[in-house]
Amino acid sequence: MPIYRVEIDGIEELKELEGSWQPTDYIAILQKMDVSGAAEIPAADLREMCVFALQDLDPPEAAALLLNYKLGAALSSGQIRNYSVESQHERLWEQSADLKIHQPMFGVASLLNAASPMVFPTPDALRVSLNISSDDATALTMFQDSMDRALLVRLLSSGMESSSILNRLFGDQIAQGKVADADSILWAVHVDSSNPASIRVTVTSSAYWLNALRETESFEWKFVPEAK
């Protein structure tokens, strides 16, 4: 079984994820607020106009509008009503029991915070860059953009203390090699395999999951196939 050496090359703090909101989203949101001529606003000005328009709403109203737009198909009207109030003091991108909505909830929180930073909590995500090597160069081929993200959750957990949130909540699954919520824990993964001697992996997710890596410079991980 291969042993991987992992070095943390960098950690970048993010308040918003690229691509969370597209020009078409801003137009649709402005139209929901009855802003006339939204479709004619220059693309470069759409975000600013959307932020200004959200500032004209009461905070729960602004939150409900964005929650309906982003998560209306996943949440009930009662949940949206509750979340629209809780979003002013709760970090919903961390605390919702449904991990699948954490990333879109982060997008909602980012735009709400941009509109009213004194009202809504500041969202925090991390982008962690890893350099992974092994004495067995062929073992690096398992790291691909399309890999099962449970593999990375297991690797990352080895660089964290046992008391970390990730290990406390998913320790049993990690030990078995199966992490059912891996796709919801890791929001984005990019693999650069241009160097045959090592793999560079960039992982983006909530600081809630990745904060425990801040004090880690390097670690080793022994790959063990998942339990059958």
Q: Where are the domains of the chain?
A: 3-15+124-222, 23-115
Q: What is the rounded CA–CA span in Å between residue 155 and residue 1?
A: 14
pLDDT attached to residue 13:
97
Mean pLDDT by 10 residues, the chain (228 residues): 94 96 97 95 96 97 98 96 95 92 97 97 97 92 92 96 96 92 96 92 97 96 79
pLDDT attached to residue 227:
64
Contacts 24+ apart (CB under 8 A), 72-79: 74/98, 74/100, 74/101, 74/104, 75/101
pLDDT attached to residue 95:
87
pLDDT attached to residue 126:
98
Contacts 24+ apart (CB under 8 A), 113-122: 113/15, 114/16, 114/51, 115/51, 115/54, 115/55, 115/62, 116/54, 116/55, 116/59, 116/62, 119/59, 119/88, 120/59, 120/63, 120/87, 120/88, 121/89, 121/90, 121/91, 122/15
pLDDT attached to residue 137:
85
Residue of 195, 145, 176 lying closest to 9 (CA atoms): 195
Nearest-5° angle of CA 73, CA 77, CA 79?
90
pLDDT attached to residue 228:
58
pLDDT attached to residue 226:
72
pLDDT attached to residue 177:
87
Residue of 87, 82, 78, 94 lying closest to 112 (CA atoms): 87
Q: Which CATH number fits domain 3-15+124-222: 3.30.2290, 2.40.50, 3.30.70, 3.30.1370?
A: 3.30.70
Which tokens hold the place of 50? 């959307």
